[in-house]
Structure 1
């Protein structure tokens, strides 16, 4: 019926997998990078009628900056809530806080490049499941729902993995 028994829908499924992989990768990379975001106050001279004021007035504005010193895997307000949860050991929370950002960036990059896509998707699913566990404990139902959507997208990626033509390691 088709030449070489190829289904003409394979291209659509291949492009669908590529799109899903890109979305999940960018989401993970950007989320990981945002763990390094902070604010920096910048003083600038007040300008009146297009010229610097003669009184030496300055105004402080805050700008977003990225630095290793700004890193917080778990945002401070959530960290306090998690620290009070008896089901989360303090030592585990410290490790989780330290590795969450880098893990998201690494998994996002492996997914973006197509390095062991199935394995990367599975590990990403475990990360989102761990995030879900924490959010359930502190009753953040909206966050749990968003993470549930991410899990469904990961399952879709795993189901479409055989159409992952643009990958470096196909068997994983």
Structure 2
């Protein structure tokens, strides 16, 4: 680009908006999934898309969301992390309680443009903490580390495009 060419501000605005929307959707849905549970129910088996007349039953898995189903850290991972000397034991219950709501709140603030830079920075810190836990899991968490690294790059891109970030409620921070 020569010095006389101006950057395509519309494209940069779209880029900032897309990064913000993607990060918000990812954070909100990840937080909401912390309230999900699955149950098995018996129901009439479907034949050609309709309940059968023969009384044949099948087991179906149904996903529901409820406040009492909340698990910030799944039970299996809680046990794994409890054995880690690098994670203070008193921190796990706090992290378990805060993780889901923090993801939802950060996702909403990023979506609405409320203190976008600060919200993006805090989301980045949260992803670093998740990365820390995955690293402690060893090989089992390595693909998750790569995914979170990709999330960090999108956060960095969103922060770099901040001057083109439009449609914000509170733009100062």
Q: Same fold (TM over 0.5)?
A: yes
Cα distance in 2 for partners of 1:123, 1:59 equals 46
> How big is each residue's C-alpha offset from its partner over 1:82-130, in whole Å with a ceiling of 9 and x where there is no partner?
1110111222011101110010000000100111100100000010010
Verify the 8 A CA contact 1:46 1:52 in the aligned structure 2.
Answer: no
Cα distance in 2 for partners of 1:86, 1:8 equals 50
Q: How does 1:45-56 map to 2 (within 5 A)?
A: 45-46=44-45, 51-53=52-54
> How big is each residue's C-alpha offset from its partner over 1:39-92, in whole Å with a ceiling of 9 and x where there is no partner?
122221346796432xx5533211111111211111222111111101112220
1:121 aligns with 2:120: yes
The verdict on how the C-alpha distance between 1:59 and 1:162 changes in structure 2, with shifts beyond 3 A counting, is same
Per-residue deviation at 1:164? 0.6
Verify the 8 A CA contact 1:38 1:66 in the aligned structure 2.
Answer: yes
Per-residue deviation at 1:166? 1.2
Aligned residues: CA RMSD: 1.8
Partner residue, 2:148: 147
Per-residue deviation at 1:7? 3.8
Partner residue, 2:77: 78
Cα distance in 2 for partners of 1:155, 1:46 equals 49
Partner residue, 2:109: 110
User: How many residues align structurally?
Assistant: 165
Partner residue, 2:168: 167
Unaligned runs of 5+ in 1: 1-5
Moved more, 71-80 or 37-46: 37-46
What TM-score do you get using the length of structure 2 for normalisation? Answer: 0.88
SS at match of 2:61: strand
Cα distance in 2 for partners of 1:145, 1:167 equals 30
Unaligned runs of 5+ in 2: none
Partner residue, 1:94: 93
What TM-score do you get using the length of structure 1 for normalisation? Answer: 0.89
